[in-house]
Amino acid sequence: MRRSPDQTEPDFRRLRIFAIDPLVARDGDHQVTVQVRFEELELRPEEKDRDPVSFRGRRVEVVDVDASGAAPIWLKPVELDAAHIAMQHGLEPSESDPQFHQQMVYAVAMRTFEQFDRALGRMVFLRGKHRLRLVPHAFSGGNAFFHPGLKAVLFGYFRASEEAPGENLPGQTIFTCLSHDIVAHEVTHAIVHRLRPGFNVATNPHVRAFHEGFADIVAVFQRLSFRELVHRALQTARGDVRQAGLLTDIAVQFGQGLGSGKALRTALDRKTKIQDVHEEHELGAVLVAAVFEGFYTTYERRSADLVRLATGGTGVLPAGALHPDLVTRLTVECVRTAQSVLTMCIRAFDYLPAADVTFGSFLRALVTADWELNPLDEVGLRAAVIEACRLRGIFAAEACSLAVNALLLDTASHDDWTPHVSTFREWVDRAIQVGVDEERAHSPEEEIDTFVESSSSERLLERTPLILFQASPMVRAEWDKEESSEPGRSLGDQIRAWVDSLTEEDRARLLRLGPRRHGKTVTLFNTTQRLTADGLQRLGLVVQILELVSLRLDGRECEVPTGTTLVIDVTGRVRFVIATPTRADALLTELTAAAQQAARGPMGWAGASPADRFAVDYRGMHQARASS
């Protein structure tokens, strides 16, 4: 509420987007207006007698440059702050208006960032406060991907298949940036890359699958939070989410445009067990299906009473259209449940190991995170997700059962950690101070394009569809970058010094880390906020300690990340120690499996560079997915 006439800055910016692919939107009105936190947008760069070519906020920069031809084409950036555009909630959704495309990637990317903010209780920035660059028409090709080197999400555009274009016109231009799912998916990759750099090395077959599955989960559940869209879909599907393809199909236009005749993927259940599939995209789909089923079961339970009320207690819906009031109420339940699921999944991040993620460790993290926030699970969401995971063979190897108690992460033994409490308390103080400083520092520093071209041989390989950006030296370089702000840097140093000061025995006992290797440790930290059962807010600190261990695989030396996450509360006590299992031989087996998988490679191309077989290649993953 305004207190003075000077207060004109809005809290939110409303922007129109296509909630589902424009192809589907053609047979109905499927645009929605989303609300993103208001921020001043700046047109850049400011040079005399030159025009700006991008616009940016605090976390993203939309650069519309088209590199499909020999010379780059720069498209004029939309000025979302311009009164005429702002007063109509942004430009009208249109396939032929590139400035609308810019608006759409901005809006969806910000929505995705804000989902993470909300769930994690802090603003998520890329490392070093770089802005994520969004390039809506970067190249010509049926793919879109996050490029860690460029710190950019590159969206391609392509002509629909001439022979089997689905509902597209044959040869029609399809823009991947106009698919809400694709934008959300790619931005999620960028954020996951930031939150868990250790996951950039596929140390087991679940790692890549987790990347893909998690990005899909964010895309699907974010879409399920669009009230207008859900309302229309539930009206059509008579309240049954599973019958509403609008809500469950992922990237319809993209999939059809490639000639597959169907959506790229669907969140809908196949009762496939993870033990039955080996291919990583299928594995990822199992994770999505499990979470979706947990959502669906909960939604049904939450809405059953509404249906009974509306049907005089029978619970059997009559033929014909549903009463609009009922649809409205069902929509509320659907959106609320979807939001809870999404928050639950994202919150799990603070409880994930620093490297070598598996579906089992994700399940444990998710259960623990949710239990910390909501110990009673009154709506049964947690139980429903656990059950859906059980049906698909997702369980944690270390947990003896699927009971919530067993799934909760092991709490740390107090005695072991007592000597370190004061150190940790100091860390918490500093971390909180860093957070406060960051919040005050309103704008990230000026940046230039820092992408350094890889060596000529790597550049060569970049031409091939099998690109491995995250070659191990690059992963390391990424980790070695310090937190940007001064106190942040010194806290990082402090944590590393502490790790270095531990005796070998303490390392093994406390952190469950193997023998020390100098210069191979990286630390990351973030503060957390959680609510206790009695509704109090508690601050905390999550520390990731990442180390590279050296293994011999097929006679070749390779370095793989391992590590430990410490969850520390405000008093300096360690609540959870989440270690990458130190299981040298098991790790080797899994690495071999992952290597074999990678050797088959996206598109069945043989692996080009055996040294980088474990690198998570965002681009390759998508290529393979599109062609499978």
Site for another protein in 332-351 (CB under 8 A): none
| CA geometry: angle 358, 618, 207, nearest 5 deg | 10
Binding mask 28-67 for another protein (x = CB under 8 A): ----------------xx-x-xxxxxx------x-x-xxx
Q: Which of residues 585-604 bind another protein (CB under 8 A)?
A: 603-604
85 is a contact residue toward another protein (CB under 8 A): no
Closest CB 133 distance from another protein, rounded Å: 7
């990458």: which residue's tokens?
580
Q: By C-beta, is 387 or 458 nearer to another protein?
A: 458
Note whether 281 binds another protein by CB under 8 A.
no
Of 280, 379, 284, give the one whose Cα is nearest residue 599. Answer: 280
Residue closer to another protein (CB basis): 157 or 351:
157
Nearest to 72 by CA among 16, 135, 115: 135
Of the candidate residues 93, 156, 205, 353, the single one contacting another protein (CB under 8 A): 156
Does 461 contact another protein by CB under 8 A?
yes
Q: Do 620 and 582 meet the contact criterion of CB atoms below 8 Å apart?
A: no
Pairwise CA distance, residues 366 & 375, whole Å: 12
Give φ, ψ of 140 to 5 degrees: -100, 120
162 binds another protein (CB under 8 A): yes
User: Does an H or E element contain 156, and which?
Assistant: strand 152-159
User: Considering only residues 342-401, where is the footprint of another protein by CB under 8 A?
Assistant: none
**Closer Cβ to another protein, 464 or 589, answer by number:** 464
Which structure tokens are listed for 190? 């960028």
Kindly state whether residue 94 participates in binding another protein, applying the rule CB under 8 A. Answer: no
Can you tell me the distance from the alpha carbon of 29 to that of 244, in angstroms, rounded to the nearest whole number?
Answer: 15
Comparing CA positions, the residue from 449, 448, 461, 453 lying closest to residue 617 is 461
CB-based burial label for 331 (10 Å; 0-12, 13-18, 19+): buried
8 A C-beta contact, residue 552 and residue 592: no
- 313-322 burial code (b ≥16 CB/10 A, e <16): eeeeeeeeeb
> Residue 605, interface with another protein (CB under 8 A)?
yes
Instruction: Name which position in 5, 69, 312, 535 contacts another protein (CB under 8 A).
Output: 69
Are the beta carbons of 40 and 111 closer than 8 angstroms?
no
Residue 230 binds another protein, judged by CB under 8 A: no
Contacting residue, 4, 7, 8, 457, with another protein by CB under 8 A = 457
Question: Shortest approach of another protein to residue 143 CB, angstroms?
Answer: 7
Given a contact cutoff of 8 angstroms between Cβ atoms, the answer to whether 194 and 200 are in contact is no
Region of 133-141, 354-362, 560-568, 584-592 interacting with another protein (CB under 8 A): 133-141
Of residues 21 and 269, the one with the C-beta less far from another protein? 21
- Which of 490, 375, 494 shows the shortest CA–CA distance to 434? 490
The total of other beta-carbon atoms located within 10 Å of residue 502's CB is: 16
Least Cβ distance, residue 146 to another protein (angstroms) = 12
Residue 179 engages another protein in binding (rule: CB under 8 A): no
Handedness of CA 619, 625, 627, 628 (dihedral sign): positive
556 binds another protein (CB under 8 A): no
For residues 503-532, which are near another protein according to CB under 8 A?
A: none
Cβ-based nearer residue to another protein, 150 or 332: 150
Query: Is residue 153 near another protein by the rule CB under 8 A?
Result: no
Residue reference for tokens 């990317």: 109
- In the complex with another protein, the residue whose CB is nearer, 12 or 74, is 74
Q: Determine if 448 is a binding residue for another protein (CB under 8 A).
A: yes
Question: Taking the CB of residue 494, how many other CB atoms lie within 10 A of it?
Answer: 16
Please tell me whether residue 257 binds another protein under the rule CB under 8 A.
yes
- What is the phi-psi region of residue 49: left when phi exceeds 0, alpha when psi lies from -120 to 50, beta otherwise? left
Q: Which of 94, 117, 123, 139 binds another protein (CB under 8 A)?
A: 139
Whole-number minimum distance, CB 158 to another protein, in Å? 5
Part in contact with another protein (CB under 8 A); list of ranges 129-137, 199-207, 318-326, 477-485: 129-137
Residue 4 or 456 having the CB closest to another protein: 456
Among the listed residues 25, 132, 135, 434, the single contact to another protein using CB under 8 A: 135
Rounded least distance, CB 345 to another protein, Å: 30
Size of the site for another protein (CB under 8 A): 78
Considering only residues 184 to 203 of the shown chain, the ones binding another protein according to CB under 8 A are: none
Integer angstrom CA distances of residue 109 from 153, 252, 426: 10, 19, 35
State the amino acid at position 194 in one-letter form.
R
Q: Which residue do the tokens 């629909």 mark?
A: 160
Q: Does residue number 262 form part of the binding site for another protein (CB under 8 A)?
A: no
Contact by Cβ (8 Å): 597, 205: yes
Judged by beta carbon, residue 135 or residue 409, the one nearer another protein is 135
- Rounded to a whole number of angstroms, the minimum distance from the CB of residue 134 to another protein is 11
Would you tell me how many other CB atoms lie within 10 Å of the CB of residue 442?
9
